[in-house]
Structure 1
Amino acid sequence: MRSPTTLSKFALITSSLILLLATLVLDILTPAALVVAILYSVPIALSSLVLSRNFTLLMVVLALSSNLLAGFLNAQALQAEETSAVVNRTFAAVGFVLVGFFTLKLRSSASRVATLRLEEIRAERERNLRQLLTTLSGSRTPEEFLERTAAGLREYLNANAVVISGLAHHSYAPPRFASPPAATLAHSGAPEPDFGATLEAVWTRTDGSELRVLMDGNGESSQRDALEDAVGAVAPAFEQLHLRMKLENLNSELERRNDLIKDLIYAFSHDLRTPITASTLSMKLALQGAYGELSEEYRASLQNGVASNAALLDLADQLLTVARLEAGDTGDDFRPLDLRELLEDRLKMMETIFTEKSLELEVVLKAHAWVRGNPLELGRAVQNLLENAQKWSPPGGKVEVRLETLGRYVHVTVFDDGVGVPDAVRSTLFQRFKKAGAGAGSGLGLYLARRIVESHSGRIAYARQGGRTSFRFSLPLVGEASRNGAKQEFEGSANSAISNGLKAVPHSQ
């Protein structure tokens, strides 16, 4: 039901009151036998067009009052009160009360029907919009999207034709997409649409450009509203398609660059090993006397060269590991291994570097701990943590290595007496090429340790307590070790160190 305007509502109110007053005057001036009181129903019915429940109730009250007043004045004029006149006025009063009641009921019912109809129209429009958006969601290019949009809008709006055209310098320009394809609503370079276009909507894109949606329809305001709603719903989907395409292009470019970087790292690392290995072999032969006696200065220089080449080879190995891990290649050489034995092997291998710095090495390996992993990678992670402890420990300091099982996990902790990691770099400590301090090497050691541990479903963490630095990683146990690991304990650190063949006392120079 359409609401009246303010002017028409005022006219209806005025008309209702004038009719009521005219009926009252007529009722007073005519004999009661004419039953003019029934005419009070007319202004009451007219008041319903105002669509105001309160005004209709007011008119009913005024009609009742007018009926009583007219009856009283008629009785005064006749000097008597006829029973038939009272009965007639009573029935008349009941009549226009019923008219008022049913008028309000009718207005309420009509309002509900109109509301339900609007809701049905809105629900149908939303359903059709969802269907249109579903149709457009499969588009892979902007051109395909606009072609589907033209066809979808034509069906959605029940239009004769729909054209989507670009706009440049106030004239229609490419791109142009039409449904049906032969539609001629807009021509490139035309300042206005052809005669067939009855409705037009502006489609403003996020980059500031505009598209015009032209439609050959019935020209009704409801169709115009539907067109604007459809364009408003389709526009975000079109921008999302553009963003998705940009992201896909960026991802493709990033993948291409990453592949290039990985290939360069592989090539560099492989090509680097051959000359370094040959150089190292020549220097070792020279140190063994293959080229005659050497002076002490020359021997020291060759020894430094061998050590430097070893560092370069180690860096090449780390770069290869980084490239492989970054490529998502975790390797297939995973098998059950005893982490305690792996620690013992690495400690024996690195015992010399601790001795050279006069570091006290305390080893507490409480239990055999079986895990599933790649022995070379886990060995690299352990070696990186041990090298980090050796690097940052002061001469004569202490490095402690502990292995213990707790529940379903094995924990390996490396302690040192170093100064610790500055607060400013703790958040980036395990990131690639982020160093713990000035001159701290390549920045790959802790990063590789983290990536290797995480690829084995483990965790690694840094802590600073009691003036000591600790790096701890945890790995899940497998097999019997998972169930009985807590029971597989050996004696304390001294016995463990002896059984490992490692010294638990300060090393001599």
Structure 2
Amino acid sequence: MLREGQGRVRLLTLGVLLLAFLLDVATPQALVAAILFGVPIALSGMAFSPRFTWGTVALALLGNLTAGVLNAKAEGGLSVLAVANRLLAGLSMALVGYLTLALLRRAEAQGRVELALRRAEALARVYRALDLDLDPEEPEATLLKATERLARLFGAEAAGLWKKAPGGPALVGAVGPPPLGVPGRVVRAWEREAPGPVEEGVFAFPLGRYLVLLEGVGPEGEARLKELALEIQGRLQAFWEKAQHVSALKELAYSLSHDLRTPLTANLLNLRLALQGAYGPLDEAFRQALANGVAANEALLRLADNLLELARFALSGREPEAVPLKALAEEVAGALGPLFAARGLTLAVEGEEAWALGRRDALARAVQHLLENALEHAPPGSRVCVRLEAWDGVVRLGVEDEGPGVPEALLPHLFRRPVREGRGGLGLYLTRRILEAHGGRVGYERREGRTVFYLELEEVRHASPRVPG
């Protein structure tokens, strides 16, 4: 479009130049018509080509000279005034050419500044659009959200997030109408090592196993995409590499925790046997040292179990089932009952049966973490209660104890990350992760002088052991 406009300007300039030459030839020397050559010179600046402007100046000077010769022949000779007029006209042409080129250079510089500003603004809009709450543990959900924002920002009619699968490209999710992507187009897009157009109106961002495909992009949107493609790709690629890094760390945590558990279990068994006198009589100091070793080993074993469960939960993809939460709580409470009895604690499960959709083993682990938290902090001789409540399609399982509660300073850290002391740790963090994966939430409150840690899930009115389908 720009080249077409420049071509029209050049034709118009040459036409005006020819007209000025004809008028100069047709008029007497005294009228100084050569001054009209300044018009096409000034007009040539609109072609944004210094070479064309200098060429126009040269043609104007040649026209001025030729018209002077023709006028002299027609009038029978040159007058001093005519020569002076021709010289002044030539100087004016050179001056107009110089000023035109100066204005052209200034316009180009201003244009570059404006272009840089527009690009910076466009890049800022892209960064704002991709300023997502990145969760490397849920890369597909975040990539799909990024796809949606890119489609909206660049005016795409449809967009899709694809991933490589054994049977061919698989659509993870679509934005807008069903995407027009076909296997051949997706494969061609994946063959690209860099972002760019696959065909007219279709723009691709390959990200390893994933592909962001924008379709139905207009000419303006495609031009902006080409201009910012590398920055967008870099933003998406940085996120994807972070997600892969976290995935590798999860697998490493699984491996380490699994490998640590075996020697810790063997060491704990030996310490307990020694404490029971299996290797000979013990004095009181040695017995106390062994007891401390058993306690420390048990703490390490719990930590390894928590890490192992966290890694298993993050890597597992098992289907959910309808879980009876009261029966589940009674099962977990029965397993932990001897530990509560050893501390003189009374443990009870109250409320009506309620069902929730989820992974039974993961939900059992979440309940166990809440009960272990109460076991650690409830005063000896007090009562701990697991209470089931349901209302408006929500079921709450709360663990109540008579402990002192959570210090105000630790409240912001609950369920978010392990803390070194107080009521918090890996168990509560894992509980939050489990509940978030089930579409629920975990919380804490003080109620009538009692500490309550609870989990809430959507209630399902289903009593079969498995959800069909």
Provide the TM-score with structure 2 as the length reference: 0.49
Greater gyration radius: 1
Provide the TM-score with structure 1 as the length reference: 0.45
